[in-house]
Structure 1
């Protein structure tokens, strides 16, 4: 296994008409969830990804499980809860680059995850453990599960990758800050956005934020800065890797997950950090061009076409 990730996936409904969702009568149905988005992104690029979670014993849970199997995700460590439901959420596209999201996930099957749902050998089988700041916000048992997973990964010398993925609708600021900082101190690689760095450290300057994360325990920090690209920081070097221009953003949700998938793909392929960040920027850009959390995640030939075009433009 290349990457194992842990978290909640949900069914996503989006109105087929413009305007307020209150007036919508028809919706499209898709699948979304930060961690499984990353797994799908990796699988489409030819890597082996596994997802740990719980789903309800309902039609939505069956839809998610079937979809992830079709994307070649290992779901052998997904369990079914016969009492709790699968979570859902709604997207409300208001204007270009502005999407309102409504979650209905309280008491969901995934929120019932506990450390007993973890298989030590399964986590040890992966090169990377990918986690986000969403899962520990779902419940106290989910938070305990994430810290146990980190402990198991480190026990076996596996690399822990952490995307803060801040969701303040799920918990209060003080608890969120304390928990995310604790996880960041345990992670080897941290993938924050600048706004998340500001929330955690009260600082907005990328260079200062990069050093703060390194001082806090990470060995590599990759900081997303939207269309501008992303910075990376190690103790020895740092650089800004330019992003890929997108003329019309169709759906920004999932771009950060695509970024994480692209970056991990680059590391798995043995790329140097700067090139891995370039791949991350490319995948993130491609995701924004298509409606749906995972629909824009590219296969390798699509990704290579964009990267090749970028190199040609640089040469010119």
Structure 2
């Protein structure tokens, strides 16, 4: 979708800058910058805004051949206002958008191509009944064909209630080999009110191999049947936290695709999260593969010459 950013309150009519936004596209770009072959599948409007989305994805090396141009529906919009230095507010205009019309037929061809990994978020099934059915179908078909599935819960309170989210995401999580959530999202893929240990145990019992819990400035925890592994956050000066969770996800999935050990996957995940919060934008500051050591190896304020 298109993200429109304001450095001040929207109500007073501050200037807006246009960006590419969306959790799935953030992850796609993060993986592509690290050298992975990535395809983004969905619908975009058949106008200048849809072309804006596709141009940015293509420029970042993301395959958009499976994207459908929808002549009847507008682009989804997201408005972000920097209300204070520490508070950013978001408004969505996605009802009836091209992305909300995602269907099973849109996904048949791309899945038939045999990807190694299918990444989904909890945002897509929140958009419409058709998108919900498409996401569930894709997860089921991927598992049946031997494709790994990752699910980032990515709860958005402005899109649906916690009760509706839980009713959809709990069964969807059963198809995933990797489930990613913040601590306050875990009960959306388990029983209402379940604490972290209970929710994780339930997911592992259902066949999920790894449960990742994002802890923000405290790093992350990864649970498997072998136990729990903690990775501290990489210390940086945070200037913009939007997109940090998606960067974390891209880093972890990159490590998984590269066959890294769990601790190294987590380290790459928190490293990408650090890159995301240290720069402005959802994905603009994410690193190339040869830049992964920049943050870990450099003191604050360093200029590399």
TM-score (norm 1): 0.89
Show structure 1 runs of 5+ residues with no match: 1-9, 311-316
Matched, 1:280 2:269: yes
- Relative to structure 1, the CA distance from residue 137 to residue 123 in structure 2 (aligned partners, 3 Å threshold; closer, same or farther) is farther
Deviations 1:251-291 (A, max 9, x none): 21111110110001111111101110111011011101222
Work out whether residues 169 and 188 of structure 2, in 8 Å CA contact, stay in contact via their aligned partners in 1. no
Deviations 1:68-106 (A, max 9, x none): 111110001000010100111111112334210011111
| Residue pairs, 1:73-84, within 5 angstroms | 73-84=62-73
Please name the residue that 1:181 is paired with: 170
C-alpha separation in 2, matches of 1:172 and 1:32: 22
Q: Residue 135 of structure 1 is aligned with which of 112, 124, 128?
A: 124
Number of residue pairs aligned between Structure 1 and Structure 2: 298
C-alpha separation in 2, matches of 1:91 and 1:142: 24
CA RMSD of aligned residues (A): 1.8
Matched, 1:190 2:179: yes
Work out whether residues 129 and 153 of structure 1, in 8 Å CA contact, stay in contact via their aligned partners in 2. yes
Show structure 2 runs of 5+ residues with no match: 300-305
Q: Residue 228 of structure 1 is aligned with which of 198, 218, 222?
A: 218
Identify which of structures 1 and 2 has the higher relative contact order when contacts are C-alpha pairs closer than 8 Å and 6+ apart.
1
C-alpha separation in 2, matches of 1:209 and 1:95: 35
Q: Residue 14 of structure 1 is aligned with which of 5, 15, 25?
A: 5
Alpha-carbon distance, 1:309 to partner: 5.3
| Residue pairs, 1:1-316, within 5 angstroms | 10-16=1-7, 18=8, 20-120=9-109, 122-200=111-189, 201-202=191-192, 206-247=196-237, 249-308=238-297
C-alpha separation in 2, matches of 1:204 and 1:116: 36
Work out whether residues 194 and 206 of structure 1, in 8 Å CA contact, stay in contact via their aligned partners in 2. yes
Q: Matched residue of 1:74: which SS?
A: coil
Structure 1 residue ranges, 4+ long, deviating more than 3 angstroms after superposition: 120-124, 198-209, 307-310
Alpha-carbon distance, 1:246 to partner: 2.6
- Relative to structure 1, the CA distance from residue 121 to residue 136 in structure 2 (aligned partners, 3 Å threshold; closer, same or farther) is closer
Q: Which moved more, 1:198-207 or 1:263-272?
A: 198-207
Alpha-carbon distance, 1:149 to partner: 0.6
